[in-house]
């Protein structure tokens, strides 16, 4: 009996560590996925069928977009916020002379208050003409992506991490940013700490750029009130605003890459901002690329409870009620068409529901086909390390919830294809 209790206790601890505690209602059993019906992305709310690009763009697409504005991510304000750029550093001989690095301070202001953010940019020196760019947030500060002691700490980092926290250590997430490989492939990188735009901690909304908008109300009860994911998506577009001022940028070759919660924000940014020509989601899971109606791994009930500052309040009505969703995440991916979307999963990341992420890409396919483009072409998941790349893309790799060199190499392969870039030998 003692042995049985010990084994049971160890299993329970393991489940809790992996986020699989039974009390959270998390299921990793494919046989328990409910019989769900996905909304047809090409059927309008009045029941009419979309058969042309014009009907999609003028009628159905606005309907789908409205679902995400009103019931998941919140409504992005139409007002603009003043922003200025200040170059803080520039090193034309970074990475042993292979790159030029820059650090640029963004100052967002409404005339009364100021929110600051720092963009870290690496530009390949060996280039001919303008260069493509990857835009993406980092989680632990620009300093976490490199050992370079000249890289400045993010202005908001002290709000979310205590002075003795190990995340202050330089290079603590270098593994997620293979700058050398990206530069050698001819791409620039523009990264910013996501906390600078909206500190990812409950109760810090007043330190986010959303607090600068004239409609800001810390006590708002509006069901479509935008929150962190919406604000992060908005911030990604402001990075593109800056890139538009730079003569070295190929504005037709801007890609956005987001991991985990930032994969969610990247997809939402790509749905709203057509300047992102390739949109990449890595392990984005619930509220990102994964189909919510599968209720597999992390689900709506869990995510809105643990992260109430991410989604608009209206999303809470679908907690343990996914069958009532009038939309699903495949429609978010469809909003990106005819631009290109790539979704990546990991075998060990069941929390993010790899199959649900794959199926989301598959079910977005009809909109791509409407434009004369190609979807995945199959509803059967590929094997590990066997990416599918058409006008959309998907891969599943070995490993856990992370960003690896393998991921980056596939992202660059996909961008090479659509940006018509020849690999360097």
**Per CATH, domain 37-419 is 3.40.50.1820:** yes
Q: How confident is the model at residue 1 (pLDDT cuts 50, 70, 90)?
A: very low
Q: Report DSSP letters for 221-265, one per residue.
A: --TT---HHHHHHHHHHHHHHHHTT-TTEEEEEEEEEEETHHHHH
Nearest to 176 by CA among 140, 123, 132: 140
Residue 242 dihedral angles phi and psi, to the nearest 5°: -65, -45
* pLDDT at 421 > cutoff 80: no
Is-catalytic flag, 418? no
Q: How confident is the model at residue 128 (pLDDT cuts 50, 70, 90)?
A: confident
pLDDT mean over 344-350? 98
Catalytic residue among 154, 260, 292, 360: 260
How many other C-beta atoms are found inside a 10 Å radius of the C-beta of residue 258? Answer: 29
The string of pLDDT tens digits covering residues 387-409 is 999 999 999 999 999 999 999 99
- Lookup result for tokens 């977005």: 364
* pLDDT at 18 > cutoff 60: no
Reading the block at residue 301, the tokens are: 């009930």
* pLDDT at 311 > cutoff 70: yes
- Lookup result for tokens 């992005």: 76
- The angle subtended at Cα 366 by Cα 363 and Cα 367, nearest 5°, is 110
Cα separation, 337 vs 316, in Å, equals: 28
Cα separation, 96 vs 112, in Å, equals: 43
* pLDDT at 312 > cutoff 90: yes
* pLDDT at 339 > cutoff 80: yes
Using the Cα atoms of residue 80, residue 222, residue 261 and residue 386 in order, give the sign of their dihedral.
negative
Residue 420 is predicted with a pLDDT of: 84
* pLDDT at 19 > cutoff 90: no
pLDDT mean over 88-100? 97
Nearest to 286 by CA among 160, 152, 401: 401
Contact present, 345 and 357 (Cβ < 8 Å): yes
Q: How confident is the model at residue 241 (pLDDT cuts 50, 70, 90)?
A: very high
Q: How far is CA 397 from the centre of its chain?
A: 18
| Model pTM score | 0.94
Question: Could you give the C-alpha distances from 72 to 61, 268, 326, 335, in angstroms and in order?
Answer: 16, 10, 11, 15
Catalytic residue among 70, 158, 237, 401: 401
Residue 422 is predicted with a pLDDT of: 62
Is-catalytic flag, 27? no
* pLDDT at 16 > cutoff 50: no
Parse the chain into domains and list their residue ranges. 37-419
* pLDDT at 423 > cutoff 70: no
Helix, strand, coil distribution of the chain in percent, nearest 5: 40, 20, 45
Residue 22 is predicted with a pLDDT of: 44
What percent of the chain lies above the pLDDT cut of 70? 93
**Who has greater pLDDT, 179 or 25?**
179
Cα separation, 327 vs 287, in Å, equals: 12
What is the side-by-side order of every strand in the sheet holding 340-346? 82-93, 99-109, 114-124, 188-193, 131-138, 249-259, 278-282, 340-346, 392-397, 388-389
Q: How confident is the model at residue 3 (pLDDT cuts 50, 70, 90)?
A: very low
Strands 392-397 and 188-193: unpaired
Cα separation, 195 vs 267, in Å, equals: 18
Helix (H, G, I), strand (E, B) or coil at 105: strand
Residue 11 is predicted with a pLDDT of: 37
* pLDDT at 15 > cutoff 50: no
Contact present, 351 and 19 (Cβ < 8 Å): yes
pLDDT mean over 166-171? 96
């Amino acid at each position: 009996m003692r042995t049985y209790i010990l084994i049971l206790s160890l299993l329970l601890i393991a489940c809790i560590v992996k986020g699989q505690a039974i009390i959270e209602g998390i299921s990793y059993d494919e046989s328990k996925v409910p019989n769900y019906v996905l909304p047809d992305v090409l059927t309008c709310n009045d029941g009419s069928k979309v058969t042309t690009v014009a009907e999609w763009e003028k009628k159905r697409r606005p309907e789908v977009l409205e679902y995400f504005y009103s019931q998941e991510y919140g409504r992005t304000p139409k007002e603009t916020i003043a922003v200025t750029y200040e170059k803080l550093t520039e090193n034309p001989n970074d990475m042993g002379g292979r790159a030029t690095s820059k650090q640029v301070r963004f100052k967002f202001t409404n005339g009364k208050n100021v929110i600051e953010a720092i963009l870290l940019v690496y530009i390949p020196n060996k280039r001919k003409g303008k260069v493509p760019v990857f835009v993406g947030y980092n989680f632990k500060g620009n300093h976490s992506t490199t050992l370079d002691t000249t890289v400045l700490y993010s202005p908001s980092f002290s709000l979310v991490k205590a002075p003795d926290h190990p995340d202050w250590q330089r290079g603590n997430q270098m593994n997620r940013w293979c700058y050398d490989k990206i530069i050698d492939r001819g791409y620039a990188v523009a990264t910013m700490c996501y906390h600078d735009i909206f500190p990812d901690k409950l109760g810090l909304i007043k330190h986010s750029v959303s607090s600068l908008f004239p409609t800001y109300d810390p006590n708002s009860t509006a069901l479509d009130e935008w929150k962190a994911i919406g604000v992060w998506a908005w911030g990604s577009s402001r990075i593109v605003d800056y890139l538009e001022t730079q003569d070295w940028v190929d504005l037709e070759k801007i890609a956005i890459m987001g991991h985990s919660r930032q994969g969610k924000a990247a997809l939402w940014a790509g749905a709203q901002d057509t300047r992102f020509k390739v949109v990449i989601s890595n392990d984005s899971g619930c509220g990102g690329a994964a189909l919510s109606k599968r209720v597999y791994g992390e689900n709506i009930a869990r995510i809105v409870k643990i992260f109430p500052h991410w989604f608009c309040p209206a999303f809470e009505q679908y907690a343990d009620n996914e069958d009532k969703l009038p939309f699903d995440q495949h429609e978010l991916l469809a909003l990106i068409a005819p631009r290109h979307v790539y979704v990546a999963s990991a075998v060990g990341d069941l929390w993010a529901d790899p199959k649900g992420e794959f199926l989301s890409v598959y079910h977005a396919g009809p909109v791509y086909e409407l434009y004369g483009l190609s979807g995945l072409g199959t509803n059967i998941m590929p094997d590990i390390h066997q990416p599918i790349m058409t006008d959309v893309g998907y891969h599943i790799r070995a490993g856990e919830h992370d960003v690896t060199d393998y991921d980056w190499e596939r992202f660059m392969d996909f961008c090479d294809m659509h940006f018509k870039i020849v690999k360097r030998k």
